[in-house]
Amino acid sequence: MFDDGEVDTSIVLRETLEDVLDTPDAPPPTREYEFANCDEVDVSAGNQSFYCGMTLEERHEALECDDDQTASNPQYSRSRTINADGSRGPWGPWQWNETYRCVDPEVPTTTDIRTVLARDLATLPIPPSPLNVQPDQDWTYVNLDTIVFTDPEPAVLTTTVLGTSVEVRVTPVSFAWNFGDGSDPLVTSDPGKPYPDHTVAYAYPTTGDYTITLTTTWEGAFRLTSGAAWEPIAGSTTTTTTRDPMSLVERRSRLVATP
C-alpha cells in the first residue's frame, strides 16, 4: 500500500466538487483522504503520535477501546488546485486530520433490520392463539352450534437483529377455523366471542369424533426503542392451535308410554 512514504491513491477515498464521480462529465477530485498508521506516510511536521509503531492490539489497549470497538488509524488528506482550463495542479502534502480513535461497530440501518425481519418473521416464537370452544367439554350434540373464539390481542416480542435489540409486535388479522369434518375452513377476521354474544359457530351435521384446528395469520411491525412509532414488516406468518378431539353425538327423542 505504501512505498517510500507515498500513498497508493488507487484506494484513496476522494471528495470532489460535486458528488458525481461516476458520471462522464464529473469534475476532477480536489481532495482525497487515506487512513494509515503515522509511520507509513510522510505528513507535515509536528503530527507524530505516541501510538506510532504500535501493533493494532497495543493501540486497542492503549486507547482503552471497548471489546466491540476497533482502534482506527489516523485520517490524512491532501488537496490540489484545478486550473481555469481544467488542467490539474500537483497534489499538496498529506495533512493529519484525525488522530487514532476508537470506532464503534457499524450500526445496521432500519432498512437492514426490516429486510431481515421480513425474511425471518416466521421463525419468531409467536405464541399461538388460544382456541376456546363452547360447550367446554369433550362431547356435544350434532345440529347445535359449537361456538369457537380466540384472543385478538397483539403480542410483543423482543429479539436481536444484526446485533440490535428490536421490539416486534405481531397482530392477528385473520382466523381459519377448521372443524375437522371435511368441510371447508371458516375464514374470518372476527376472533369470535363466548356465549351468549357468540359470532363464530358451526353446527356439525353428523356424529363422529372431530378435531378443531385454528390457524391464525399474523402481520408484524417493529421499533428500535420503546415508545417509538411502529414500522411495518412486509409479509405475514401463521400459527396453528389444535384442540383435543371432541365427540359429536345425536340427541334422540323417544316416546314413553304413559303409565
Position 196 scores a pLDDT of 95
Q: Is 125 among the domain residues?
A: yes
State whether 62 and 117 are in the same domain. Answer: no
Do residues 175 and 187 make contact, with C-beta atoms less than 8 angstroms apart? yes
CA nearest neighbour of 168 among 122, 240, 117: 117
Distance between alpha carbon 192 and the CA centroid of its chain, in Å? 31
Q: Are strands 139-141 and 246-249 parallel, antiparallel or unpaired?
A: parallel
Q: What is the CATH number of the domain that holds 218?
A: 2.60.40.10
Dihedral angle, C-alpha 167, 173, 179, 185, nearest 10 °:
-130
CA nearest neighbour of 232 among 245, 241, 221: 221
Nearest-angstrom CA–CA distance, 214 and 193: 15
Q: Is 257 among the domain residues?
A: no
State whether 27 and 93 are in the same domain. Answer: yes
Mapping DSSP to helix (H, G, I), strand (E, B) and coil, where does residue 14 land? Answer: strand
194 cis-preceded (ω within 30 degrees of 0): no
Exposure of 149 by Cβ count < 10 A (0-12 exposed, 13-18 middle, 19+ buried)? buried
C-alpha angle 24-25-27 in degrees, rounded to nearest 5? 120
Position 18 scores a pLDDT of 29
State whether 117 and 95 are in the same domain. Answer: no
State whether 219 and 156 are in the same domain. Answer: yes
Position 129 scores a pLDDT of 96
Q: Flag whether the pTM goes above 0.75.
A: no
For the range 226-229, what are the long-range contacts, defined as Cβ-Cβ under 8 Å and sequence gap of 24 or more? 226/167
Dihedral angle, C-alpha 5, 40, 74, 10, nearest 10 °:
60
State whether 119 and 243 are in the same domain. Answer: yes
Nearest-angstrom CA–CA distance, 141 and 135: 10
- Say how many domains are in the chain: 2
Domain range enclosing 133: 110-249
Q: Mind giving me the DSSP string for 39-106?
A: TSS---TT---TTTT--HHHHHHHTT--TT-EEEPPEEEEE-PBPTTS-BPPP---EEEE--EEEPPP
Q: Are strands 231-242 and 186-188 parallel, antiparallel or unpaired?
A: unpaired
Position 244 scores a pLDDT of 95
Position 10 scores a pLDDT of 31
- Profile the chain (259 residues) by mean pLDDT over runs of 10 residues: 34 31 40 62 56 74 80 70 69 73 70 84 90 95 96 91 85 97 96 97 97 97 82 93 95 64
State whether 144 and 82 are in the same domain. Answer: no
Task: For residue 22, give the amino acid letter.
Answer: D
State whether 92 and 138 are in the same domain. Answer: no
- Count the Cβ atoms, other than its own, within 10 Å of residue 4: 5
Position 71 scores a pLDDT of 74
State whether 117 and 240 are in the same domain. Answer: yes
Domain boundary among 78, 103, 128: 103
Exposure of 19 by Cβ count < 10 A (0-12 exposed, 13-18 middle, 19+ buried)? exposed
